[in-house]
Structure 1
Amino acid sequence: MNKDKVVLAYSGGLDTSVILTWLKETYDMEVIAVCVDVGQKDDFEAVKKKAMETGAIKAYVVDVKEEFVQDYLFQGIKSGAIYEEDYLMGTAYARPLIAKKLVEVAELEGAVAIAHGATGKGNDQVRFEAGIKALNPRLKIIAPWRFWSLKSREDCIDYAIEHGIPIPVTKKDIYSRDENVWHLSHEGGNLENPWNEHDPSIYKLTVQPEKAPDAPTFVTIGFEEGVPVSLNGVKKGGLDLVLELNEIAGANGVGLIDIVENRLVGMKSRGVYETPAGTVLYQAHKGLEKLVLDRATMSFKRTVAARYSELVYDGLLFSPLKLALDAFINETQKVVTGEVKVKLYKGNCMVVASKSDFTLYDERYVTFGADDVYNQQDAEGFINLFTLSLKIGAIKRLEAEEAGKLEHEDKGEIVFV
């Protein structure tokens, strides 16, 4: 009799290595390991080999780096979404895409379930499962961390040792990291106490800002309809552009944040994030939008970006609202074409110049010199109408005070100096 199959989101790290063996022991299922390559620096042949040696019947490595950059990260840039004004959501964008690929493999292999190694305290369990439920709700979901007897990473290490599973961490190196082409995150260990200053030795994508070059580096980013398409005047594919910019920005200490954030499940967590290229691209895109978008669109887009960031953070990339907001965002980006020059210096990233054929900036109107296109006398009528409600309200208040219907407002004593 054939056993049921389960697709496991597999990385070859501590948690998923333990889960692979645990699934076989607990459910007597055939495990298909799926490693989705979003840019983590792994030896994928070694990952596949380890999965098979640990007991998987098949092991897939699915390369989605280009799709990740073009369809997820660059859409995020166009949206301007930044979670709680700090986090560029490298993990949040990756998880739904991983879920999508897990579903595709499960359907291909006729699996009945998908298993993941996200803990019951984190956001990723929601992101994985929201994606799976949106794409194929018939698949069962197994999340061992929510109900097995192992309660900590130390327990997992002991389990791995007991079962002869090779693991990449020790009890001294206990950080939980997530890496892709967009970022590297660090959580756990001594970061769990927010009073502990983090140790710069954990950096892998960036140098410590104080140790960055003493001379600034300038980069020019070209955009077409909100999408980055060139670096320093050279046309680049999305993935190549991000990888090259990671090197340049990382060497200048750009893209480091140490934040306490609000998890979806209700608790606060602390993490150190390295996002070199993403930081530069967001700043450059923001600078270009300021040049080409009108005030009302920019204002409303900021409102959309705040809600959009929550949808992405919460794993709702396949929700109707997110897709509807994408339509609005894409409409705004039709004029976001041009070039932006950015200065990188010891952790700082500043837009210093921008140009576009769709610019709304017109020197003839804003010059402090003489001009023949703007009649300053027109401002008086505009101000009279713009402030009319204020004027009427003040008149009515004064009339009410004079009639004794409203207590006089004491504005204090004027002191002359």
Structure 2
Amino acid sequence: MSGNNRSLTQLINSAAQRIDAYDKARPLVWNLFLAGCLLIGGTGELSGGGWRAISPNPGAPLWPAVVCAVGFPLTLLRRRTHPVESLLALFPLALLQGWSGVGLQVTVFCELIVIFNIALRLPMRQLALSAMLLSVPLVVGLARFPADGWVIPLQSALTSIAAVALLGIAWRTRQEYTASLRERAKQLEIERDQQAQLAAAAERTRIAREMHDILGHNLSVITGLADGGSYAARKNPQRATEALDAIATTSRQALTELRRLLGILQNETRATAPAELAPQPGLGELDQLIGGVRAAGLPVQVTVTGDLELEAEPQGRQLTIYRVIQEALTNTLKHAGPDAMATVALSRTPEAITAEITDTGRPGPRKPGGRGITGMRERSALYAGTLEVGPRPEPDEGWRVHLHLPNDEDDRV
């Protein structure tokens, strides 16, 4: 039973939507249809002669009745686009009806339809003025053809106008509420699309940052090892073999990290079995990172100071520090020159943790603004940190990367 009711409701709503769409596309058709029906009704009243029985003046001439029966429906043709003009066109006909004492049912319907459209489309002030204007012909008719029960007809007419006006206001409120819901749904859809685009952009940025850190560093190490192996092959074959072994080890590490990253991305984009995940590198893997850089030919000195073990830091902060050190040393490998040396200084206090990476190579042509430096800044911003990148102050030569991560209150001891 409930299923049938729902089907009937859906059928009615669908039919109403089709009628509304047809009316909006061809408003003149409905206007002519309504005016034609009322015109036929008025003509029927005149031909039957029953209008004299309900008229205040049964002996009224025929011509005012004919003018009202034809004129009232014609005033409705512009009621939706120009309701005030329809009211002004209807007003002299209403005065003629009241002055002559003619009574037609069709004219009452026309007046109420105009009042409904004014209530539906115009402000309350104009609605009140319109109701007062239509009450004038009623008063004129009662003054010219007084009757013992004149109060009841006047009260009935004013009550009908008030009821139709309230109906128009209620319909208008419903339309405005429906329009606001549609606008809100549209805005929510736009915001949803924008959030999806922002999330996709953030995800692309994260992927690009991880790919850059993984591939950029390992390829730089492999390049340094290959250059060193090529030089050693001419003088020390054993050193060349060690360089090739180191290249193979670094390549395997890069492939392992790349497969892990791709496995995570595949798991995020497809509803399949969970990929086998490995933890992101942290400060515990810093020795391995430094060892790879040293094997590539860059001497690195590491100093660690602080009141707590660095590995007690949260994993996300460890990853940020690790990636900043990795990117700084990668840039040193690529740009500092063959005789450069690097220093990594880590320090933790109750207020902050800092990492400073310096080298003794030539400062040019390293320029801030590349993908790597942008990634370091993005990682630092995740933890409200600051990153300073640039040449070392004179008279020192080389490059300096300084990371400052303030500690959260929950992390302080």
Fold agreement, TM-score > 0.5: no
TM-score range normalised by the length of the shorter chain: under 0.3
Point out the structure with max Rg over C-alpha: 2
The structure with more strand, counted as a fraction of residues: 1
The structure with more helix, counted as a fraction of residues: 2
Structure number with higher relative contact order (C-alpha < 8 Å, ≥ 6 residues apart): 1
TM-score (norm 1): 0.21
